[in-house]
Chains A and B, each alone.
Chain A
């Protein structure tokens, strides 16, 4: 008995020692490293942010980790103050903003298209009008050889194949943009389902994040879903041309997204640009935002941390960063939006004093 107790004591002492020394080691290490930022949110803007933050690290040595959690979880993390800022493709409504512990600001970083991506063997391109799109996602059109689909796609040979709708299972800004558009084009959608980051889907199956939806579409014959342009491009998934408000069938190109974003921009950048009336605009386009607290002195954050946060976001508006967005199939911000963004960033303070001059 005694032996066991002694053994136990030795083991405990040993592990205590070991974990103690280990902790000390990491503390020393973190003291040495430069300022690092953490952020989470939108998977839609994920490819842009990941690439841009890496570039920024090469330029300045400031490391930014970005978690692809989905916009909903990103906003939640910002609310819990566990990240420096979050990425979201859905702006906070007035009620949501009021629920945050402190005032926040939205900085638009780029705009992008939500592609209607599909996987039907032998078919590279289809056209969808508002009615057919709504019917597919409402579960009323269930087979690819439906007469309505054939009518707007003369010459395309549709197989007898069940349609599998894929949507997001997590709270998503991509879903928000998509449902915002659907509510504008279909009264039935508006009444039955509405707009939101997560929805009560009448049909289909859910997958986590843009990468999850893209993965299921590329591996499932007969599937259709909505994903950010870069995901469709990177995984070589076919996308549909959509009939816009002016009646033209438009592909989700950078030019078509830019055309949708030419309208007026409010001073807080909170605007949806779906269903644009411009003749060459892609209808499911949307801005994506970085959201951060207006007052950066919270949770014992240092002035350096706050400065690094704002400087990074300021750099995201730079032509260099906007060029990265363009390479990744996002539409860069128009100049007037950059000016509005910069004005917003100048209102961000540390202990009441503006951080940027």
Chain B
């Protein structure tokens, strides 16, 4: 090994070690901060639907926020999959390597660059009146509105990776299928999708992970009601947005409960990513 190789090696080693330390430090401080809440409420903290910050009656349960986060994210994923899937096929199969495809894929990538607050404003002033006008909900806030905004926000994450995977499906396979008389539809569902399956699933899981942690746009649209939503058009709250809303003034048990929610969000995101990796392994 010559000198520059050695330097590079130590440099990279130090860099990755630093990241490990930062990640470890975050887990440490989250767990440390969450201990009082779990000590006081036990496992009940996760299952309880009661979030009562009133002085003298304090009692905290994370279920309204876990439910809100999961429902909005799953809804966002369900709404975004058809759009993301068709965009991927459009860009990587039907109009592959044409100007129109590159324009579309640039536009979709651009969606990822729009700040969250702009999505929130658009949702507040444009989407919410539409929801109210359609009579879906009297005030336009809620799980459904947030789900739609989240769906749009995660489309770029769902498409960009699956585009690359779909492009990578060997041409020989497709040509072989065509030569056997397969229609385009049959090629897509019998050749491309099975081949690119793990990559497509991975990109949707990545997108789901994004939706779990999204804060600002959801805070502006979900209605910030600290209860489990009764229906798709009911108001609710998510883990990220309750932290954003109440962190500023919190101390004592409330602060600990908010940190505990942060820890739970961390755990859920980690589980989703692990599940994603597992699925990819199984499928490929």
Q: What are the residues of chain A within 8 A of B188 when measuring CB–CB?
A: none
- Closest CB of chain B to A189's CB: distance in Å? 11
- Closest CB of chain A to B254's CB: distance in Å? 8
Q: What are the residues of chain B within 8 A of A199 when measuring CB–CB?
A: 52-54
Residue ID in chain A nearest B125 by CB atoms = A219
Residue ID in chain B nearest A71 by CB atoms = B249
Residue ID in chain B nearest A69 by CB atoms = B248
Separation of A73 and B249 alpha carbons in the complex (Å): 4
Are A162's CB and B138's CB within 8 A?
A: yes
Are A196's CB and B225's CB within 8 A?
A: no
Contact indicator per residue, chain B 130-157, by CB within 8 Å of chain A (1) or not (0): 0010000011110000000000000000
Q: Does A346 contact B (CB under 8 A)?
A: no
Are B225's CB and A5's CB within 8 A?
A: no
- Closest CB of chain A to B230's CB: distance in Å? 12
Separation of A221 and B135 alpha carbons in the complex (Å): 12
- Closest CB of chain B to A7's CB: distance in Å? 13
Are B249's CB and A222's CB within 8 A?
A: no
B216-274 contacts to A (CB < 8 Å): 219, 223-226, 235, 237, 245-246, 248-252
Are B225's CB and A76's CB within 8 A?
A: no
Are A5's CB and B7's CB within 8 A?
A: yes
Are A222's CB and B57's CB within 8 A?
A: no
Footprint of B on A, CB under 8 Å?
Answer: 1-2, 5, 69-76, 79, 93, 96, 99, 161-162, 164, 169-171, 193-201, 204-208, 216, 219-223
Residue ID in chain B nearest A90 by CB atoms = B55
Tell me which of A1, A93, A222, A223 contacts B55 (CB under 8 A): A93
Tell me which of B50, B55, B132, B223 contacts A197 (CB under 8 A): B55
Are A222's CB and B246's CB within 8 A?
A: no
Q: What are the residues of chain A within 8 A of B172 when measuring CB–CB?
A: none
Residue ID in chain A nearest B50 by CB atoms = A200
Separation of A162 and B233 alpha carbons in the complex (Å): 14
Are A198's CB and B53's CB within 8 A?
A: yes
Separation of A208 and B221 alpha carbons in the complex (Å): 12
Are A1's CB and B53's CB within 8 A?
A: no
Q: What are the residues of chain A within 8 A of B226 when measuring CB–CB?
A: 200-201, 206
Are B54's CB and A196's CB within 8 A?
A: yes
Separation of A196 and B56 alpha carbons in the complex (Å): 9
Q: What are the residues of chain B within 8 A of A169 when measuring CB–CB?
A: 224, 245-246
Are A207's CB and B249's CB within 8 A?
A: no
Separation of A275 and B18 alpha carbons in the complex (Å): 59
Residue ID in chain A nearest B251 by CB atoms = A76
- Closest CB of chain A to B113's CB: distance in Å? 24
Are B246's CB and A198's CB within 8 A?
A: yes
Contacts A170-B249, A223-B139 given; 18 further ones with Cβ under 8 A? A1-B4, A1-B8, A72-B248, A96-B55, A162-B138, A171-B249, A194-B54, A196-B54, A196-B55, A197-B55, A198-B53, A199-B53, A199-B54, A201-B226, A205-B139, A205-B223, A206-B223, A220-B132
Are A220's CB and B139's CB within 8 A?
A: yes
Are A76's CB and B139's CB within 8 A?
A: no
Q: What are the residues of chain A within 8 A of B248 when measuring CB–CB?
A: 69-70, 72-73, 76, 170-171
Q: What are the residues of chain A within 8 A of B5 when measuring CB–CB?
A: 1
Tell me which of A170, A193, A204 contacts B225 (CB under 8 A): A204
20 A-B residue contacts at CB 8 Å?
Answer: A1-B4, A1-B5, A2-B4, A72-B248, A72-B249, A73-B248, A93-B55, A162-B138, A169-B245, A171-B53, A193-B54, A196-B55, A197-B249, A198-B54, A200-B57, A201-B225, A201-B226, A205-B224, A208-B224, A220-B139
Separation of A216 and B222 alpha carbons in the complex (Å): 12
Tell me which of A5, A79, A198 contacts B251 (CB under 8 A): A79
- Closest CB of chain B to A256's CB: distance in Å? 28
Separation of A38 and B140 alpha carbons in the complex (Å): 37
Q: What are the residues of chain B within 8 A of A1 when measuring CB–CB?
A: 4-5, 8
Q: Does B85 contact A (CB under 8 A)?
A: no
Q: Does B38 contact A (CB under 8 A)?
A: no
Are B55's CB and A164's CB within 8 A?
A: no
Q: What are the residues of chain B within 8 A of A79 when measuring CB–CB?
A: 251
- Closest CB of chain B to A34's CB: distance in Å? 29
Are B50's CB and A208's CB within 8 A?
A: no
Separation of A164 and B137 alpha carbons in the complex (Å): 10
Residue ID in chain B nearest A193 by CB atoms = B54
Separation of A161 and B132 alpha carbons in the complex (Å): 12
Residue ID in chain A nearest B234 by CB atoms = A205
Q: Does B90 contact A (CB under 8 A)?
A: no
Tell me which of B139, B141, B245 contacts A222 (CB under 8 A): B139
Separation of A195 and B52 alpha carbons in the complex (Å): 12
Q: What are the residues of chain A within 8 A of B41 when measuring CB–CB?
A: none
- Closest CB of chain A to B36's CB: distance in Å? 15
Separation of A159 and B7 alpha carbons in the complex (Å): 76
Q: What are the residues of chain B within 8 A of A195 when measuring CB–CB?
A: 54-55
Are B251's CB and A205's CB within 8 A?
A: no
Are A164's CB and B139's CB within 8 A?
A: yes
Question: Do A196 and B53 form a contact, CB below 8 Å, given A5-B8, A69-B248?
Answer: yes
Separation of A124 and B177 alpha carbons in the complex (Å): 70
- Closest CB of chain B to A71's CB: distance in Å? 8
Question: Do A206 and B139 form a contact, CB below 8 Å, given A93-B55, A170-B248?
Answer: no
Tell me which of B53, B56, B249, B252 contacts A70 (CB under 8 A): B249
Closest 4 CB pairs of A and B: A72-B249, A206-B224, A205-B223, A73-B248
Q: What are the residues of chain A within 8 A of B249 when measuring CB–CB?
A: 69-76, 170-171, 197-198
Contact indicator per residue, chain B 27-55, by CB within 8 Å of chain A (1) or not (0): 00000000000000000000000111111
Separation of A204 and B139 alpha carbons in the complex (Å): 10
Q: What are the residues of chain A within 8 A of B4 when measuring CB–CB?
A: 1-2, 5
Are A194's CB and B56's CB within 8 A?
A: yes
Separation of A249 and B223 alpha carbons in the complex (Å): 32
Are A208's CB and B139's CB within 8 A?
A: no
Are B139's CB and A171's CB within 8 A?
A: no
